[in-house]
DNA sequence: CGCGGCTGGTTCGAATTCGAACAATCCTAC
DNA sequence: GTAGGATTGTTCGAATTCGAACCAGCCGCG
């Protein structure tokens, strides 16, 4: 087997290193945020994200599906978390809509308060760990990269099946 | 409240967008990989990662702790997954060591085979979604960024407590 | 030697996630 | 209008993760 064969089946060492490091860094970031959020504010990162998205949204409310898309989890997970947040009084559910099957979730005043209480803590962490590392040029570059990745993922979602070599190598 | 106040408590809109997009992209990537790995090869991403790290390691074996560090999960999760992989015959556990409490995990031949079977499929996905988006300059830039993030996280781990404004804003 | 502190792994229970199955509603085409 | 197909949310069970508690073996210091 030649080198070309190797690289078609595996990744070139340096590229591989980038990918591995990417996975590690993202996981570590998640863990740090999660841990701090739990310890200091008693909420999950997912819950926090839900509060953030709601606070940013028009009328402080969103539909379940949009919420699920926005935080990138299964719908069932959103149902679960919204129930919890609702029990805590941080969000409210509304059926009010032209679409009778839709459910709106709205951030309550206590919810916003809770968010404003937690946000500085975790934003400072995000700054410290993530944002301070990048200057303006890099930010632009990263933004461009994220855009391309995002487009790739969109594209991939549009072709649900059978791309790539599949079970190649068997 | 002035604008400065706003930015000290929240993030500037564009920076905030970068961070949000980062979270979304990483989650979506994870999901795609996970799903494809499950559908086509019946293993989790974590399991796959374990196999990869073992294959890369000296003598195709690693200690539990190092494995946990490498894939960035709790030790208990590694125990759980290694048990499963061991039941499948893809890895083996060895007590052999000067350190009697240590456990070595070794990739078996079937394990390697299984990995070589799954790898092309998911590497092509990684290429398609992640790597093809970046040219050489960007790769270098990304690598630098990852390095800085990684260092930040290391640094942060070294100072376990009380950094950042904590419950500021109360 | 022998006592504390540390490290490596496992076990346990709780929390969260996912996907598949389901029920209700909307929409489009005929 | 009405049947068929897509979309919205929920419920359920299974899998996975985490952290805390725990045991065992290592190490340094008296």
| A93 three-state secondary structure | strand
Average pLDDT over chain B, rounded to whole?
Answer: 90
Could B116 and A9 be called an inter-chain contact, meaning their C-beta atoms sit closer than 8 Å?
A: yes
**What confidence score (pLDDT) does residue B3 get?**
56
Every domain of chain B and the residues it spans: 43-158
Average pLDDT over residues A130-151: 94
Do B148 and A129 form a contact (C-beta atoms < 8 A)? no
**What confidence score (pLDDT) does residue B18 get?**
96
Do A153 and B29 form a contact (C-beta atoms < 8 A)? yes
**What confidence score (pLDDT) does residue B72 get?**
97
CA atoms within 13 A on the CB side of B137: 6
Q: In the CATH scheme, what architecture does the domain A3-132 have?
A: Orthogonal Bundle (1.10)
Separation of CA A141 and C1' D26 in angstroms? 49
Nearest to A82 by CA among A104, A115, A99, A110: A104
Query: Would you mind telling me the total number of residues written for chain A in this entry?
Result: 170
Could A131 and B167 be called an inter-chain contact, meaning their C-beta atoms sit closer than 8 Å?
A: no
**What confidence score (pLDDT) does residue B9 get?**
77
Separation of CA B103 and C1' D29 in angstroms? 29
Q: Identify the weakest region by mean pLDDT among A102-106, A125-129, A133-137, B105-109.
A: A133-137
Query: Which nucleotide's C1' atom has the smallest distance to the CA of A98?
Result: C26
User: What does the pLDDT look like over A31-76, one tens digit per residue?
Assistant: 999 999 999 999 999 999 999 999 999 999 999 999 999 999 999 9
**What confidence score (pLDDT) does residue B159 get?**
73
Within 7 Å: CB of A102 and strand D? yes
Average pLDDT over residues A98-115: 96
**What confidence score (pLDDT) does residue B166 get?**
44
- In the predicted model, residues of chain B with pLDDT beneath 70 are 1-8, 160-170
CATH class of the domain at B43-158:
mainly alpha
Q: Which residues contact B14 (CB under 8 A, 6 or more apart)?
A: A139, A143
Decide if pLDDT at A164 tops 60: no
Provide the whole-model pTM. 0.91
Average pLDDT over chain A, rounded to whole?
Answer: 90
Q: Which residues pair with B149 in a beta bridge?
A: none
Could A165 and B120 be called an inter-chain contact, meaning their C-beta atoms sit closer than 8 Å?
A: yes
**What confidence score (pLDDT) does residue A84 get?**
98
| B63 three-state secondary structure | strand
Separation of CA A61 and C1' C24 in angstroms? 22
Which tokens go with B122? 């998911």
Decide if pLDDT at A7 tops 70: no
Pairing of the two strands B91-94 and B104-107:
antiparallel
Query: Which nucleotide's C1' atom has the smallest distance to the CA of A76?
Result: D10
**What confidence score (pLDDT) does residue B50 get?**
98
Do A56 and A48 form a contact (C-beta atoms < 8 A)? no
- Residue B105: what are its φ and ψ, rounded to 5°? -115, 135
- Residue A78: what are its φ and ψ, rounded to 5°? -65, -45
Decide if pLDDT at A162 tops 90: no
CA distance A119 to A4: 49
Q: Is the dihedral of CA A26, B134, B46, A10 positive or negative?
A: negative
**What confidence score (pLDDT) does residue B26 get?**
98
**What percentage of chain A has pLDDT greater than the value 70?**
89
Decide if pLDDT at A2 tops 60: no
| CA distance readout (Å), B79 to B34, B84, B91, B103 | 20, 9, 12, 10
């Amino acid at each position: 087997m030649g080198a070309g064969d190797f690289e078609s089946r595996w990744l070139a060492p340096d590229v591989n290193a980038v990918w591995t490091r990417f996975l590690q860094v993202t996981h570590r970031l998640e863990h740090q945020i999660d841990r701090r959020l739990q310890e200091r504010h008693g909420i999950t990162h997912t819950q926090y994200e839900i509060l953030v998205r709601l606070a940013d949204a028009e009328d402080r409310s969103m539909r379940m599906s949009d919420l699920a898309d926005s935080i990138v989890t299964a719908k069932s997970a959103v149902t679960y978390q919204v129930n919890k947040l609702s029990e805590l009084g941080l969000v409210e559910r509304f059926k009010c809509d032209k679409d009778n099957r839709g459910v709106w979730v709205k951030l309550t005043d206590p919810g916003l308060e809770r968010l404003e209480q937690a946000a500085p803590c975790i934003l400072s962490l995000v700054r410290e760990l993530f944002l301070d590392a990048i200057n303006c040029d890099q930010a632009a570059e990263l933004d461009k990269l994220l855009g391309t990745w995002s487009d790739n993922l969109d594209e991939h979602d549009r072709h649900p099946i059978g791309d790539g070599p599949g079970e190649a190598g068997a």
